[in-house]
Amino acid sequence: MDPIIQWVGGKKRLLNVLDLMLPNNYNTYYEPFLGGGALLYKLLPQNAKIYEININIYNLYINVKNNVLEIIEKLLIYEKEYLDSPDRKNFYLDKRTIYNSLDYSTPQNSIKKTILLLFLNKTCFNAVYRENKKGEFNVPVGNMKNCTICNTEQLKKISNYLNNNNITIYNDDFTKFIDTIEENDFVYLDPPYYPLKNDSFVGYDKNGFTKEKHDELIDILHSLNEKKINFMLSNSNNQYFRDKLSMYNIYDIAIARTLNSNIDDRKDCVCEILVTNYNLNKTQTISIPQVNYSNLQKNDNVSIKIKNKKYFLYSNDINLKEINKCFYNFIILNKIKIVITNKYIENNEYKISLLFNN
């Protein structure tokens, strides 16, 4: 499932990489910095504890969980009014003013604020969420094209997911999760990133995320490791985290550029890091056309190649599967090895299992 809002630092484009890096199994899934929740809504774990300090995002999920039909009904009205409006910019600015004037003192206000947040997220500039120091949403109007503002099916699906699984959402500081997490649970942390320029500590909301908060986060990672709890952390490519977390696996992520297998200057292309306290040892199964099947053997190595600006997994010069560019970059940059470990037929589909490790 896709997230219901676009969020600064949203992980949608990195989902293949994150999925590859997850441990093979775990009990409860923890996500202490939820935001748009791209990974949560991809994995759809049955047991999850999630934290989000921003009250507007927290209430968005609570309201979508409890009042989805009312939200859809009113959002469809806003959508029609906006698309029919001769002055979309002022329509947007009016809604933004109402959004900022509402608080959460009554359930009706809270639902209205959520509907407005969904509307603003779809119609604002670049679909970002930004607040000023007073906590007011202050993003200007977007390009005002015709667009779907109410994605009814998606809202219903997320509501069903939150209702029919054991998902607890807390409007609390991320540090609180350490009180309940247990061995065999797993935590994915995607905090506000450590700034790359000194003195540019900025937050997603009026509370900010200070240097002390980054240090608290680092301490928590060490205590998770002591308790033998697996974690995966996303962050900027910053030297502070690299130094403080050098005892763990630090993977480089390049998004912007195409890389060759000989990367001379990593500084130029690495834009994020991923840190884990466990080793990559992941099996992924893919379906392949029958014509390729008989030529493949267990223990064959899989390589990756570019052809016509597309990215493919190959074995013995047989094209197995097209992959996306982020995934390609990640594998090349981190010298990840891929080996065929199994081949079988299931429901008339030809499958091979690939083991990824480094």
Ligand X SMILES: C[S@@+](CC[C@H](N)C(=O)[O-])C[C@H]1O[C@@H](n2cnc3c(N)ncnc32)[C@H](O)[C@@H]1O
Binding status of residue 33 toward ligand X by CB under 6 A? yes
Q: Which residue in the block uniquely carries the two structure tokens 């080793």?
A: 279
Closest separation in Å from C-beta 133 to ligand X = 15
Binding status of residue 45 toward ligand X by CB under 6 A? no
Interacting span for ligand X (CB under 6 A) from 27-35, 70-78, 103-111, 314-322: 27-35
Binding status of residue 36 toward ligand X by CB under 6 A? yes
Of 272, 181, 273, the C-alpha closest to 220 is 181
Determine the residue type at 106.
Answer: T
Interacting span for ligand X (CB under 6 A) from 35-43, 263-271, 302-310, 335-343: 35-43
Pick the closer one to ligand X by CB: 99 or 311. 99
3-state DSSP assignment of residue 314: strand
Interacting span for ligand X (CB under 6 A) from 50-58, 105-113, 300-308, 347-355: 50-58
Q: Which of residues 53-72 bind ligand X (CB under 6 A)?
A: 53-54, 57
Binding status of residue 11 toward ligand X by CB under 6 A? yes
Interacting span for ligand X (CB under 6 A) from 33-41, 288-296, 318-326, 349-357: 33-41
Binding status of residue 38 toward ligand X by CB under 6 A? yes
DSSP state of 193: P
Binding status of residue 41 toward ligand X by CB under 6 A? no
Q: Which of residues 154-213 bind ligand X (CB under 6 A)?
A: 173-174, 190-192, 204-205, 209, 213
Among 18, 43, 48, 52, binds ligand X (CB under 6 A): 52
Of 245, 144, 130, 258, the C-alpha closest to 192 is 130
The two structure tokens encoding residue 296: 């493949």
Cβ neighbours around 346 below 10 Å, total = 9
Helices assigned H by DSSP within the chain: 15-21, 38-43, 55-66, 68-84, 88-101, 107-123, 152-164, 211-226, 239-244, 266-269, 290-293, 325-333
Q: Name residues whose C-beta falls within 8 Å of residue 60's C-beta, 6 or more positions apart in sequence.
A: 4, 5, 114, 117, 118
Give the footprint of ligand X on this chain (CB under 6 A): 7, 9-11, 32-33, 35-38, 51-54, 57, 173-174, 190-192, 204-205, 209, 213
